[in-house]
Structure 1
Amino acid sequence: MSRETAIDTVTAYFDTGTFQAELATLVAYPSESQNPEAAPELMRYLTEAMQPRLEKIGFETEIIANPDPSGGPLLIGERREGGDLPTVLTYGHGDVIRAQDGMWREGLAPFDLVEEGDRLYGRGTADNKGQHLINIAALEAVLEVRGSLGFNTRIVLEMSEEVGSSGLADVFRSHKDRLTADVLIASDGPRLQPDVPTVFMGSRGGVTFDLELTLREGAHHSGNWGGLLADPAIILAHALATITDRRGQIQIAEWRPDSLTADVRAALDGLPVTGGDGPDVDLDWGEESLTPAERVYGWNSFAVLAMTSGVPEAPVNAISATARATCQLRYVVGTDPEDIVPALRRHLDAHGFEAIEILAHDRGFFAATRLDPTHPWVRFVTSSIERTAGKAPHVLPNLAGSLPNDSFADILRLPTVWVPHSYRGCSQHAPNEHVLKSLSRDALRVMAGLFWDVGAGGTPDT
């Protein structure tokens, strides 16, 4: 009975092809939460793929109906070993985005696992079926070797993450007593580099909205009316140009966070933002006084996601009546989310753009969260990972993207430590989604070592 034996056990699980076979079974569930016709698959994933497996290793489980009719069911499970032992809460989501059938390259299909070289292709391989499968398999390996985990475990599996985790916060509030724990240890998102483990402790939040300017009814001939009618696209472009300068530096004071502390800067120092698949980074874009890592992980960013006036696919000689831009602010802790849109309203009015409407999107993003990188649980997790991997992990105070960490941090009041098992070039939310076999094998070893160490004692007091 040893840590090394548990790691060897989970390594054999991968090397014999069992991981690949089990991942193929999970991928085969077309659990598209964005597709109303796939609603039965959301329940099937929990009742057929997850519930029996968890109960086999001693979890008591319950399927919870989502209080939000737009969301899918949830599973809550618990494996209890002793009142004097630490409790780890873990999480995953079995829903995926739309399959995007017909857009995958030849030889690939979204709900068939296809192995090519170091890649395993299929919808959900990276986001998030492969990630929670790795963590469950690591728990199983520790149980097989030790005979117990040495800690209590609670798990939440939701089926609505890809539609904004509809109902998750409400379930957490109503079942709070069943979700108490000492720490959240879960997996989602990418590593910074495929061959180096990553740990992050929160995420940026996001707000999306339209800016729309309508000046009149209908378009009018540009020859007859050019020079006489104001052009909404030009006015909107000038309004957008007041929000940032020409290199994307935010000009709204309330959108500039106050949370880039010395500890956060130290944690971000030297972290890579390039490497792997993806475009070249524009080093002369964003806040000039910050490093690239500070810009994406420690600061806010504004983007215009789409912009229209007239009919771009079939332009005519006419001055448009309306112009619209869909915009987004990704924000970190230190930004007041309740003041993001009001601050924009004040800014536009002060610059003479009172006629531009701000139309907030119904689908919200998760709120920004961040755990201090010096927190004892962060130190515990990173030390364990370094022992297994033979190298120190990259440590991010927060992910650049968004996930439902606010429900764990703000409702359950837990320290949150995420250990992602994908990489930035995985094509999640796009055709040809995949995971790397080499990364998955390494992640299984890292998590088996981590869960072994949690059960071996010496965990932080919380």
Structure 2
Amino acid sequence: MEQQIKKAIKAKMPTYIQQLSKLVSIPSISFDNFDQKYVLESAEAVKQMFAEAGLTNIQFLTPESGRHTVYAESLTSPDKPTILLYAHHDVQPPMREALWNTKPFEATVSADGERLFGRGTADDKAGIIMHLAALEQVRALKKNDGPNLKFIIEGEEESGSAGFAGILKKHAELLKADAVIIADLGNFAKGTPSITTTLRGMSAVSVELKATKAPLHSGSWSGPIPDVGQVLCRMIAELTDGTGKILIPGFEDGLVSPTAEDLASYRSLGMTEEIFRNDGGVLDGVKLKCSEDEILTTLWRKPSLVVTAMEVGSRMNAGNVLQDSAYARIGIRLAPGMDADRCTQLLVDFLKQHVPYGIQCNIVTEDGANPFVTDTSHPFFKKMSDAMTAAYESETKIIGCGASIPGAELFRSTLGNIPVLMTGLEDPECNAHGENESLYLPDFEKGIVAETLFFGGLC
């Protein structure tokens, strides 16, 4: 059966790449300052693909934002297991388009044929096609003797999944399943099949300081009047020490340390500083803030703060001006055991306590996502691990992820304590969220094989 599946999928790869390319051509950026008609167009394209694949009960599950989540199902028998398949059809902005080597919304195969470039190729439109392709293959193999499959393709994951909790709660009966596969993560390395079992949580705050009614001549006014740019920099610097440890009192309360088994698994991955620096494009001479043997625990099991945006005047129009205001967005990554709402409030309180000179300070919080840890004892995990090992012809690794998937905890809290299997097609070279995002096509094929083998082994 395994060789039959591999041969059938290889023959269909041109079709699957074409389907993915069609989705990539739609700039479905789910941020308010972009045209949302493309998110709706993307949802319609997914809906059409579902119809062409013969799925039933196809419908939009629409949050308040209007960014459609697309639902569909392919049911066989109530006696068969039901698997809920998640991916998302919205994408990040292209960032600096001048740095792209190809057009961001025109899927382009590399000269060596190994990578498909374009925004959303790896994150996460490939996940949609992987689910659809595996459905096609398992139905061809087992007809109606395979599992029940339900699809839920979100339309606002990249902008924070603000309406996703409401969708899950409202449609909990419709979405009822024995397990969920979240195809929005990735492999530890190319050709290394991986199941993610921990995620960091996420939140963010926007801080704006204001000291004067308008910008002033720096020669005439600076000195007596505080410079909001310097003040903001000092406030941010007080949040952490030189190693990146967060200095907010009580911030790390509840932090869950990795187990001995976790640490053994991390060591087995063979991460070195050289590999990490190469994958991250770290410049020569820039030192890491942790030792080589702490890289993965720092990335997956410790919190971090990142200044994701800062604005004091304009680089393109810099002059001798004492600026009236300064802005920064501070992102929070929270490790397992920490609470997003609590930590966000601690950050807000700490910043407000450290505003000097009576400067006006306005802080806006964003909805957060809690960290996530899944239990791997359910038999479905071994079935998925075995399927991935067979597909990739390489041992499946259990890994963590420093990023956040809000849906993971939402699925568990809404649909019951069902297994949450987190897979995906990203790799360290895919540059998700950055310029020149790409999908490693050999792993795209193997990912489809793995999911097909998993479905085939359930019944």
Shorter-chain TM-score: what band?
0.7 to 0.9
- Cα distance per residue 1:252-272 (max 9 Å; x no partner): 243325112314434433433
Shift of 1:371: 0.7
- Secondary structure (helix, strand or coil) at the match of 2:199 reads coil
Which position in structure 1 is the counterpart of 2:228?
A: 232
Paired residues of 1:5 and 1:145 also in contact (CA < 8 A): no
Find out whether 1:79 has 2:74 as its counterpart: yes
- In structure 2, relative to structure 1, the CA distance for the partners of 1:372 and 1:357 (3 Å cut) is farther
Which position in structure 2 is the counterpart of 1:163?
A: 159
379-388 or 263-272, larger mean C-alpha shift? 263-272
User: Where do 1:52-451 residues align within 5 Å?
Assistant: 52-53=52-53, 56=54, 59-68=55-64, 70-98=65-93, 103=98, 105=100, 108=103, 110-117=105-112, 118-256=114-252, 258-262=255-259, 263-271=261-269, 272=271, 274=275, 277-280=279-282, 285-286=288-289, 291-348=294-351, 351=354, 353=356, 355=359, 357=361, 359-362=363-366, 364-413=367-416, 414-451=418-455
Which of 13, 22, 25 is equivalent to 2:22?
Answer: 25
- Secondary structure (helix, strand or coil) at the match of 1:421 reads strand
Give the aligned residue type for 1:436: Y
Give the aligned residue type for 1:124: G
Give the aligned residue type for 2:223: G
Give the aligned residue type for 2:59: I
TM superposition score normalised by structure 2: 0.86
- Secondary structure (helix, strand or coil) at the match of 1:404 reads helix
- Secondary structure (helix, strand or coil) at the match of 1:366 reads coil
Which position in structure 2 is the counterpart of 1:49?
A: 49
Q: Distance in 2 between matches of 1:43 and 1:94?
A: 7
Give the aligned residue type for 2:80: L
User: How many residues were matched structurally?
Assistant: 446
Shift of 1:196: 0.5
TM superposition score normalised by structure 1: 0.86
- In structure 2, relative to structure 1, the CA distance for the partners of 1:375 and 1:293 (3 Å cut) is farther
Give the aligned residue type for 1:97: Q
Q: Distance in 1 between matches of 2:338 and 2:422?
A: 22
- In structure 2, relative to structure 1, the CA distance for the partners of 1:303 and 1:358 (3 Å cut) is farther
RMSD (Å) for aligned C-alpha atoms: 3.0
Q: Distance in 1 between matches of 2:377 and 2:446?
A: 25
